[in-house]
Chain A
Amino acid sequence: MEVTADLLVNALISGILLAGFYAAVSVGIGIAFGMLDVVNIAHPAFIVLGAYVAYIAHEMLGADPIVTAFVLSPAFFVLGLVIYRIYYYAFERHGQESLRSLAFFFGILFITEVVLILSFGVDYRLVNTSYSSTTWRVGFVDFPLRLVVPFAVSLAMTLGLHFYFTRTFFGRSVLAVAQDPLALQLMGVNPRRVKELAFALSIATAGVAGAFLIVIQPVQPALGRVFIGLVFAITVLGGLGSITGTMVGAAILGIAESFTATFFGPSWSPAVSFGLLLAALAFKPTGLLGR
């Protein structure tokens, strides 16, 4: 394959746009898994749930999926609160939680899938927005709005979360809670409350990522499963415990995928992505930005 400036720049732009979507999909795991040590393997199922909610709102009211997602994010937040409650009483109270909770979240993943199948059927669903079929062209570079809009919103969301976690008292207490819950308690903060709210926030991001998903590609109830590997790869690759880590991981995998597809053969892109992750783990076991 001949490498031209055209292909190179477009591959880079495509990769960055894809990374925006990947960041939105993974940021919830970045919070739940990276900061709180909750192995929420059901996260992608909540993303698919978000996609269906956005789909329904679009069908019934003609609402834009992304707007819907933000309007309904409190509902996802509450869902997150409920799940964390169950999780807390079942596992965290007893310690040794991460392994058993894995099976728990698998159960939640299956249950969510079934709920989706029973309420929406098994057919593929997709939403056409006003910007779905528009592509901006700057010189020879394509900017399909189908990806640009989710990218922009995702960037705003992840940056917002980043500043929230690094600049506010609550955010910092989230970062502290995994390290030293006792110290936090001494400061008059209830660690459980902190984790609960942070987890709920992570589920709220799943709702938004779901809206992106249905704008970008057709969705069916079992789609969540294919994202499990990807979201964990992204969070671990960048390094746990920070939103920037997730963003870096998403950027690397997005760009790697786009370059592999353009210059080598798309079939190899999973091997390249996960090979990168393995190499990163062998080289720096805590991820690129890990502490």
Chain B
Amino acid sequence: MKARWFTPIVFTVTLLVVALALATVTNNYFYTAAYIVLQFIILATAWNILGGLTGYVNFGSAAFFSLGAYSSVVMFSLFKAPVPLAIPVSAAVAGLVGLGAGYLTLRLRGVFFAIATLAMSEVLYTFVVNWDYVGGARGAYIILQDDPPFGFSNHTQYLFTVMALMTAFAIAVARYVETSRLGRGLAAIRDDEVAAECSGVPTLRLKLISTTVSGALMGMSGSTFPYFMQYVEPTSSFSLSYSVNAIAMPLIGGMHSWAGPLIGAILLGTIQQIVQVTVSSAWNLLIVGVLLVVFVTLAPDGIMGWFDHWRARRRRS
């Protein structure tokens, strides 16, 4: 498949799946659960653009997610912005912060970068808590009184569709970054940054592009969250679980290509959703914990790694 066919195919497939779902599934639970899984696909895909391709571990995914969510809150409070308008603004804000954070911290190598993103997340959290315009610690309400646009029967289905399209977009971007010259430069950074720099790869510029793109996609995934919940408050939107999942999902799926985070997010996200409403109690945390441990110990390169390995072996035999 040529690169230029990839994007149209992803979008077509997404639209077909969405149309199929809307035509056959009436229960709203499917849409809420699927929305959350899709949200994690975007987060994981976005994380992987920086973390998987360059090896820089962003520990503050929750902060970028919240930047998106709170940009929407501001837009809604200002002039009741509709979802399609809130998304690009949220993405732009989170992308700009990604760029700024990149400038400040990309000189830091390895773990120091991870700690810096964690610190940035705490600082942003404190600002949101103390910012009364977006509700501060009390949280903000986005109350959707009108019917959803484009003839959707309810907001959940509408937001699910929007989320599905954003997911397709994120995957297309990830695949583009990976296969373009940019991606090869990023891979060179991951393998040996100094060597890459010496052989003329503009490492700083490439890294800044990837922090910006990654941040923007994360912001995008959070932009619809206030509309989905109709209520946002800082403690849960900055929750550790976003940061953890954004790392764990690519790890489980495999970090070397766009398909890894997709598979990891679908797998872990779905399991979390199912466990939440089946084994509901302290045990659900246990299952997620055990899964994390088992997967990273038994599948060192993620599911994709497993798969590639298996394919390589089959070819040999």
Which A residues lie at the B interface, using CB under 8 A? 33, 39, 86, 90-91, 94, 98-104, 106-111, 113-114, 117-118, 225, 228-229, 232-233, 236, 267-268, 270-271, 273-275, 277-278, 281-282, 285-286
A213–B71 Cα gap in the complex (Å)? Answer: 38
Nearest residue, chain B, Cβ from A39: B111
A-contact 0/1 string along B270-297, CB 8 Å cutoff: 0000000000001101101111110111
Complex contact B116–A278 (CB within 8 A): yes
Given A113-B285, A278-B104: A90 in contact with B297 (beta carbons within 8 A) = yes
Nearest residue, chain A, Cβ from B118: A229
A103–B291 Cα gap in the complex (Å)? Answer: 10
Complex contact B247–A111 (CB within 8 A): no
A-B interface, 7 closest residue pairs, ranked by CB to CB distance from nearest? A110-B289, A107-B292, A107-B293, A271-B126, A90-B297, A274-B119, A111-B289
Complex contact A274–B123 (CB within 8 A): yes
CB < 8 Å: which of A100, A110, A236, A281 contacts B296? A100
CB distance from A179 to the nearest CB of B (A): 15
Task: Determine the chain B residues whose CB is within 8 A of the CB of A107 once the complex forms.
Answer: 288-293, 296
Given A106-B292, A233-B115, A281-B112: A268 in contact with B130 (beta carbons within 8 A) = yes
Task: Determine the chain A residues whose CB is within 8 A of the CB of B118 once the complex forms.
Answer: 228-229, 232-233
A202–B163 Cα gap in the complex (Å)? Answer: 44
A280–B278 Cα gap in the complex (Å)? Answer: 46
CB < 8 Å: which of B244, B286, B300 contacts A100? B300
Given A110-B286, A267-B130: A285 in contact with B108 (beta carbons within 8 A) = yes
Complex contact B116–A225 (CB within 8 A): no
Task: Determine the chain B residues whose CB is within 8 A of the CB of A117 once the complex forms.
Answer: 282, 285
Nearest residue, chain A, Cβ from B127: A271
A275–B126 Cα gap in the complex (Å)? Answer: 11
Nearest residue, chain A, Cβ from B104: A282
Given A98-B110, A114-B286, A281-B108: A103 in contact with B296 (beta carbons within 8 A) = yes
Interface residues in B, total, Cβ within 8 A: 44
Complex contact B248–A106 (CB within 8 A): yes
Residue contacts A-B, CB under 8 angstroms, 28 given: A90-B296, A91-B296, A98-B111, A101-B296, A103-B248, A103-B251, A103-B295, A106-B248, A107-B288, A107-B293, A110-B286, A110-B288, A111-B289, A113-B285, A117-B285, A229-B121, A233-B119, A236-B115, A267-B126, A267-B129, A268-B126, A270-B125, A270-B126, A271-B126, A274-B120, A274-B126, A278-B123, A282-B104
Assuming A114-B286, A228-B118, what are 13 further A-B pairs, CB within 8 angstroms? Answer: A91-B296, A91-B300, A98-B110, A103-B244, A104-B296, A106-B292, A107-B289, A107-B293, A110-B286, A111-B289, A233-B119, A267-B129, A270-B122
Nearest residue, chain A, Cβ from B244: A106
Q: How many A-B residue pairs lie within 8 Å, measured between CB atoms? A: 127
Complex contact B285–A99 (CB within 8 A): no
Task: Determine the chain A residues whose CB is within 8 A of the CB of B127 once the complex forms.
Answer: 271
CB distance from B44 to the nearest CB of A (A): 12
Given A117-B282, A268-B130, A281-B105: A110 in contact with B297 (beta carbons within 8 A) = no
Q: Interface majority SS on B: helix, strand, loop or mixed?
A: helix
Which B residues lie at the A interface, using CB under 8 A? 51, 55, 57, 104-105, 107-112, 115-116, 118-123, 125-127, 129-130, 240, 244, 247-248, 251-252, 282-283, 285-286, 288-293, 295-297, 300
Task: Determine the chain B residues whose CB is within 8 A of the CB of A278 once the complex forms.
Answer: 104-105, 116, 119-120, 123
A225–B125 Cα gap in the complex (Å)? Answer: 15
Task: Determine the chain B residues whose CB is within 8 A of the CB of A91 once the complex forms.
Answer: 296-297, 300
Task: Determine the chain A residues whose CB is within 8 A of the CB of B126 once the complex forms.
Answer: 267-268, 270-271, 274
CB < 8 Å: which of A104, A229, A233, A277 contacts B292? A104
Complex contact A102–B57 (CB within 8 A): yes
Task: Determine the chain B residues whose CB is within 8 A of the CB of A285 once the complex forms.
Answer: 107-109, 112
A133–B219 Cα gap in the complex (Å)? Answer: 48
Task: Determine the chain B residues whose CB is within 8 A of the CB of A282 once the complex forms.
Answer: 104-105
A101–B297 Cα gap in the complex (Å)? Answer: 8
A106–B51 Cα gap in the complex (Å)? Answer: 17
Complex contact B119–A114 (CB within 8 A): no
Task: Determine the chain B residues whose CB is within 8 A of the CB of A102 once the complex forms.
Answer: 57, 247, 251
CB distance from B306 to the nearest CB of A (A): 14
